[in-house]
Amino acid sequence: MATMRTLAPSGRRLTATSRVGFDTLPDQYVNREQQRGFRFNIACIGETAIGKSALLDSLFDTDFEQKPHNHDEEPHVEHSCKVVSEGGVDLQLTITCSVGYGDQIDRTDTYKPLLDYVDAQFEEYLQEELKMNRQLHSYTDTRVHACLFLVSPTGTCLKSMDLVALKKLCDKVNVIVVIAKADTITKSELERFKQTLREEFAANGLQLFQPEVDTNQYPLAVVGSQEKVVIGGESVRVRQYPWGIVEVENDDHSDFLRLRNLLLRTHLEVLRLSTHTTFYERYRQRRLVDLGFAPSGRHTSTSGADGDAEDVPESLTEVYEQKRRQYKELMARKEQQLKEQFMQKVNEKEGEIRKIEKELRGKRDELVNIHRSEEAKIKAALQALARDRAAWQAECEARRKEEMSKDSKKKDKKDKHRHK
């Protein structure tokens, strides 16, 4: 017999009288996520030889095989991918490091390669999201979840180059400022430097990622090393100096453990979630506005090409119809322009043809006149030749007759003389 459900005293919560099974939903979620695997994409930016590779290798206790670089290289980014396993959980890790940051005389845009890379990953995700048949469940998410910004401990304040880069990056990604090579300055100098950085961050309105607890510990100062020695029967990661050793994972020597716990143990999912809900959504909104969407919750009007007010659409259908209408108008204008250009070229060609035809007619008339003149001259010459020929023939005939007459007379004389 079915059990009748009743409202709890609060009037809202219902409690099943027997086990139904949906209390396994957290386990189902964990199993599903574990089967899919976890991704974490981290970027690191800092000056050359500040210790980026050593810090990343120490954080994940692995060798990312990043090649060394000199100070002569152009700014760019390099990637390294690894699958790190711990307790049966696989973490697909992507490391993106800036190369050549701050090594040029003109340091204006040395941060730009990393900034462009972050935007490019957002754009790839957006294009996948806008596809007709999107496959986000199997899409390899390459968006940067966190950016370690390594600051040199030398100096009394933040470098202007670093300040400009931080202002640009804070709008795109979770930035965690880290003081590198913290073992190169004294504890008192380190505390003063941290306080100075906190004041500069606040004065410039930098929205850095840091937990609300232990705010005085930030920015974290770390030491990175892959060298290990045995101390008290345990293998410890250290940096050795002639005067002693610095233990990387000792809270009295470095904030390395705090940084690793922040990234991997306590706030990894927070970083992933904020990347999607804050930074990606911010980028997505800007791109959709560029495509013609109105900001969420607002239906605004803008001036069209003809000066009339146009409603900025909010839905994809409205955007499609607006773009379709604009495209048709554009095609109509293009078609009219092409027709006008075609008619102009036709008229120009017709004018050229008429001009050439006129020139040819003039040349033809000139040649006809020359032909007629030459023909008349030839006819006159032929007539003169005919007259001269007739006169010559008459003269020849007269001479022949005259000679014949003379010969006849001579013959008669001879005959008379013979008879005598």
Strand 89-99 relative to strand 76-86: parallel, antiparallel, unpaired?
Answer: antiparallel
The H or E element that residue 259 is part of is: helix 256-260
Q: What's the pLDDT at 68?
A: 66
Q: Give the number of other CB atoms < 10 A from CB of residue 254.
A: 24
Q: What is the second-level CATH architecture of the domain 36-291?
A: 3-Layer(aba) Sandwich (3.40)
Question: What angle do the packed helices 112-129 and 160-169 form, to 10 degrees?
Answer: 0
Q: In angstroms, what CA-CA distances link 131 with 74, 198, 282? A: 36, 43, 20
Residue with tokens 């706030």: 267
Give the strand pairing for 175-179 and 89-99.
unpaired
pLDDT at residue 132, as a whole number: 75
Query: Would strands 309-311 and 301-303 be described as parallel, antiparallel, or unpaired?
Result: antiparallel
pLDDT at 75: 80
Write out residues in the chain with pLDDT < 70, as ranges: 1-20, 22, 64-72, 104, 106-107, 155, 212-215, 235, 251, 292-316, 319, 419-420
**Any idea which residue has 């554009």 for tokens?**
330
* pLDDT the model gives residue 315: 61
Amino acid 2: pLDDT: 45
- Domain boundaries in the chain? 36-291
The pLDDT value recorded for residue 71 is: 63
Determine the pLDDT at residue 305.
Answer: 44
